[in-house]
Amino acid sequence: MNKLIAIDQKTGKPYKFSAPENFNEFTEQQLVAWAALCLKKLNVDDLVRAVMIIFYRIPFDLFKKIPDSQKVQLAPTLRFLFGKNTLTRWIIKELSIWSLFKGTQKLYGPDDRLANCTIAEYRALELYYQAFERLKVKGEREKANDFLDLLIATLYRPKRKGVIDNDIREPMSEHAVMQRAKRMRSLSRKMRHAILLNYEGIRLFIRENYLDNLPKGKATAGDGLFDFNGIILSVAGSKFGTKAETEKALLYDFLNHVVITSEALELEQKRIQSKLR
Domain contains 277: no
pLDDT at 120 over 80: yes
Provide the total of helices (H) and of strands (E) in the chain, helices listed first: 11, 4
pLDDT by residue (tens digit) across 63-81?
887 778 778 888 889 999 9
Which amino acid makes up residue 50?
Answer: A
**13 in a domain, yes or no?**
yes
In a domain, 274, yes or no: no
pLDDT at 218: 47
Q: How crowded is the C-beta side of 110, counted as CA atoms within 13 Å?
A: 25
Residue 242: pLDDT band by 50, 70, 90 thresholds? very high
User: What is the average pLDDT across 113-121?
Assistant: 97
Cα–Cα distance between 241 and 12 in angstroms, integer?
70
Pick the last residue of a domain from 29, 60, 82. 82
Last residue of a domain, one of 18, 48, 82: 82
Single-letter amino acid code for the residue at 196:
L
pLDDT for res 24: 97
For the chain, first and last CA: distance in Å?
57
Percent of the chain whose pLDDT exceeds 70: 88
Same domain membership, residue 189 and residue 55: no
Q: Which residue has the higher pLDDT, 240 or 214?
A: 240
pLDDT score of 252: 96
* pLDDT in the model for residue 33: 96
Domain of 37, in residue numbers:
2-82
Q: Does one domain contain both 136 and 225?
A: yes
Alpha helix positions (H), 119-250: 119-137, 141-155, 174-181, 189-209, 229-235, 243-247
State pLDDT tens for residues 18-64.
Answer: 899 999 999 999 999 999 999 998 998 899 899 999 999 888 888 88
CA 60 to CA 50: how far, in whole Å?
10
Long-range contacts of 165-174 (CB under 8 A, 24+ apart): 166/116, 166/250, 167/110, 167/111, 167/116, 168/108, 169/108, 169/109, 169/110, 169/116, 172/118, 172/120, 172/121, 172/124, 174/124
Residue 41 lies in a domain: yes
Among 54, 82, 110, residue at a domain's last position: 82
pLDDT at 139: 95
Considering the domain architecture, whether residues 203 and 171 belong to the same structural domain is answered as yes
Angle between helices 141-155 and 119-137 (to 10 degrees): 160
- Relative orientation angle of helices 28-39 and 189-209, to the nearest 10 degrees: 100
- 152 and 247 inside one domain: yes
Q: Give residues with Cβ within 8 angstroms of 132, minimum separation 6.
A: 144, 145, 147, 148, 151
Q: 60 and 165: one domain?
A: no
Overall domain count for the chain: 2
Same domain, 234 and 176: yes
How far is Cα 193 from Cα 273, in angstroms, rounded to an integer?
49
Is residue 144 located within the same domain as residue 168?
yes
Confidence at residue 219, expressed as pLDDT on a 0 to 100 scale: 46
Answer whether residue 229 is part of any domain: yes
Q: So what's the pLDDT on residue 69?
A: 79
Averaged pLDDT, 208-224: 69
Question: What's the whole-model pTM score?
Answer: 0.89
- Taking the C-alpha atoms of residue 252 and residue 118, their distance in angstroms, rounded to an integer, is 8
Q: Do 232 and 126 have their domain in common?
A: yes
273 lies in some domain: no
Same-domain pairing of 59 and 140: no
Residue 89 lies in a domain: no
Checking if the pLDDT of 5 tops 90, the result is no
Q: Are residues 102 and 201 in the same domain?
A: yes
Position 272 in a domain: no
Do 182 and 70 fall within a single domain?
A: no
131 class by beta-carbon count within 10 Å (0-12 exposed, 13-18 middle, 19+ buried): buried
Q: pLDDT grade, residue 2 (50/70/90)? A: confident
Are residue 9 and residue 143 in the same domain, yes or no? no
Task: Give the model confidence (pLDDT) of 138-147 as tens digits.
Answer: 999 999 999 9
